[in-house]
Amino acid sequence: MNPWLIAAPTTLAAAAAGIAAYGAVYPRSQLFGAAVSRTNSPRKLALTFDDGPNPAITPKLLDLLDRFNARATFFVIGKHARECPDLLKETASRGHVIGNHTDAHPNLFWLKPDQITVELRCCNYSIVAATGAPPRWFRPPFGFRNPWVVPTARELHQRVVMWTLIPGDWMATSSEWLIPRMEPIAERAQRNLRPSGAEEGTSNGAATGDILCLHDGGHRQLNADRLPTLAALEYWLPRWRDLGLEFVTIDEAVSAPAT
Ligand SMILES: [Zn+2]
């Protein structure tokens, strides 16, 4: 007999809630639909920034990324995009990819399909108004999904993007706190990348690369302080480059490797 059918109702409810929570927030869960949760090569590191645009941080971040010829993906909030459309336009024009991160950053787990559609469409509208191009990628706020999030994004021709590492930079009060929390990227690169010319390790399923989730803004207000994020990146970008990592957008993270 199916053990689900003989479980006490409270146990059943708890188990179902547990599975729902796993599907809702575990970054690599595919329970509620397909999501991109890693790049297709251990050499490719996708830097992603959520909750912007942010006039206090994003311009400095763009300059920092330029210094390392790094292109990234920015999952922006619609209400922030309407506050600073020129900054969003500049971000796109400097070669970065813009993604949808909803209009007001609600927890989508509790929203009905039509409410999710409104959140995505309003953000899309603000991105198109600023950049002229609709986004092809979507990241749910807090990583929370429910059964309607992925299909709703798909209807709008967007794929859901999660991450392999989220160091919690919104809590950082110093780069000293944040830098060690970004260490796993370098550790994996040291393990999986061999000197150029040698074959990269693939036997243990390591032939996939990291998607790092950082924040250039804050969902509660514009001008959030993300200076520790900038400082931690200034520390890591040259080290990642020297380890042989390539900084890619999500477009490049899923594109076929060059032959
Ligand atoms: Zn967010």
242/6: higher pLDDT? 242
Calpha distance 199→97 (Å, rounded): 30
Torsion over CA of 198, 208, 99 and 35, rounded to 10 degrees?
A: 160
Residue 107 CA to ligand 1 center (angstroms) comes to: 10
pTM: 0.88
Residue 102 CA to ligand 1 center (angstroms) comes to: 9
Are 141 and 24 in contact, with CB atoms under 8 Å apart?
no
Q: How confident is the model at residue 19 (pLDDT cuts 50, 70, 90)?
A: low
Report the first-to-last Cα separation within the chain, whole angstroms.
52
Residue 106 CA to ligand 1 center (angstroms) comes to: 9
Point out the least confidently predicted range of 59-73, 78-92, 204-218: 204-218
For the ranges 30-44, 51-65, 180-194, 206-220, the maximum mean pLDDT occurs at: 51-65
Residue 141 CA to ligand 1 center (angstroms) comes to: 5
Residue 186 CA to ligand 1 center (angstroms) comes to: 24
Q: For all residues of the chain together, what is the average pLDDT?
A: 88
pLDDT confidence of residue 204: 47
pLDDT confidence of residue 55: 98
Give the pLDDT mean for 11-29.
Answer: 63
Residue 219 carries which DSSP code? S
pLDDT confidence of residue 20: 63
